Amino acid sequence: MEIELAISKDPVQIETDAVIVDIFEDSIDFTDTTMAADIALSNAISTLINDGEIKGKRDEVTVIHTLGKLPARRIVVVGLGKQKDISAEIVRRAAGNAFRKLRGLGVKSVHTTLLAVGDLGIEESAQAIVEGGLLGLYKFTRHFSKDTQNTLKKMTFTVTPPESPGKISDQGNNDYENLISKSISRGQIIADATSIARDMVNEPSNFMTPTHLADAAVQIASDHNLEVTILDKPDMENMGMGGILGVAAGSAEPPKMIIISYQGDPDNPDNNLGLLGKGITFDTGGISIKGAAGMGAMKGDMAGAAAVISAIKAIAQLRPNINVTAIAAATENMPGGSAQKPGDVLQTMGGKTVEVENTDAEGRLVLADALGYARQMGLNKIIDVATLTGAIEVALGDICTGAFTNNQLLLASVRQAGESTGEKIWELPMFDEYKQQNKSQVADVKNTGGRKAGSITAAQFLAEFSEDTPWVHLDIAGTSTCDRDQGYLVRGATGVPVRTLISLAQQLADKNSDA
């Protein structure tokens, strides 16, 4: 979509398919643009409010046809809820709902004002509208035989600089247009990265094998001047990566360990962050095979890998002052004649042995080797992202990502990043008593602790391999997909937690700069 910025004293007098304005649920005060639209439409907005058709509640979108009273053919009134609750997330949701509604009406161009600037700030509002609008319009259309592209092709921010334009983060910089332009660009970069992750997860597994995933990573690295290394099966054998090799044993598709590095602070190698992703491009469960119902969704078991690869793309474009490495452990989990079996013992990178009690607990095996490799690289802050357990969906549904850690300071940074992006994160306990469930009689540890506290025992397994390195595990099994359109989320892959990882890298870089 083409996005541009226009400065106008009277946005509703612009010729366009639609102009978006906003109202609050608990305030009768209109913005100047909303007031101008109401007057030009003979108080149509006020009348609809008085009649109870417009309430200003969150996620409410009302389209009013101007019938020649204005050059704009439609005024779109979006509700933002209560004024005291306004946040970037509410604006993102409002933009997603509004833009998707307009696409359904065949609208080709839309002008939008900055929604509810005030305490929110012009930069936050502009970025949130772009993110929400673009993500709300997302469609995965690659495999349709007919053209199903978005009809909505152009978004224009039409703004009138106020005397005091909200909060401006760049101290001493009062260049209103420049601030908004930078925020628009930032929103586009983040939405694009999130959409790429969605594309990867939505791809059928015959179009997203470990090799396809590696090829996508190489292309991203080439486009953004990043270092990339792809470890193949012989490399893994030389390094003793028995975890990923064990999972890959039943598949005809070769495994790949994908490493992409961004050097934002090359003179300070200790200023680093590792982003690790589970990349099971299709998960049958292996010999411990899953039931047929819903197995098609297991094409998305590489959502963690998609997230870290896509996040480093945006990080490279935004250029924070930190070194970031993304590691994606990619393989299929298939029940072939050479597949690993329940009761087998594997030796992971670093020498620790694992009893494979259930071959469907495979994600933690590939991540064990990814964690070992990350620690060998000297990464001193590690975030792993994985669709690891069905248990996390039972515990938290599709609202929150589950978080587990050995370092509360690092988790606090992750949660802060999640709050800034609207991606909800909830910590679960890591008490030592849970480790007992992973004890094996024949190896150092077994790969499943049984039904009780399944997401916690899975995290405890990973903790065996993160050891004393500050580490946060994000279980996105519940949040990686969505079953309905809501706000800027659409049915299918969500791209969680791409935006959180980007925000985290920027936040850690800022802290390092302030230190």
- Gyration radius of the chain's alpha carbons: 24
Q: Tokens 């001493």 — which residue?
A: 172
* Catalytic residue check, 290: yes
For residue 415, give the 3-state DSSP assignment.
helix
Locate 177 and state its tokens. Answer: 């247009």
For residue 243, give the 3-state DSSP assignment.
helix
Contacts of the segment 80-84: beta carbons below 8 A, 24+ positions apart: 80/22, 80/23, 80/24, 80/25, 80/56, 80/115, 80/116, 81/24, 81/25, 81/56, 81/57, 82/24, 82/25, 82/26, 83/24, 83/25, 83/26, 83/27, 83/116
Q: How far apart are CA 71 and CA 438, in angstroms?
A: 68
Locate 203 and state its tokens. Answer: 């791809």
Q: How far apart are CA 188 and CA 191, in angstroms?
A: 5
Cis check: omega of the bond before 497, within 30 degrees of 0: yes
For residue 329, give the 3-state DSSP assignment.
strand
For residue 326, give the 3-state DSSP assignment.
strand
Backbone angles phi, psi at 14, to 5 degrees: -90, 140
The neighbouring-strand residues paired with 328 are 258, 277
Between the CA of residue 232 and those of 331, 437, 441, 463, what are the distances in Å? 11, 33, 32, 25
Between the CA of residue 158 and those of 5, 22, 152, 386, what are the distances in Å? 6, 14, 17, 40
Q: Is residue 290 exposed (0-12), middle (13-18) or buried (19+ Cβ within 10 Å)?
A: middle
Question: Which amino acid does the sequence have at 185?
Answer: S
Of 74, 93, 100, 364, which is the active-site residue? 364
Q: How far apart are CA 290 and CA 284, in angstroms?
A: 6
The enclosing H or E element of 47 equals: helix 44-50
The neighbouring-strand residues paired with 385 are 277, 474
Q: Round to the nearest angstrom and report the end-to-end CA distance of the chain.
A: 39
Half-sphere exposure of residue 456, counting CA atoms within 13 Å on the CB side?
Answer: 17
Residues in the chain: 515
Of 290, 341, 435, 491, which is the active-site residue? 290
Q: Which residues are catalytic?
A: 290, 364
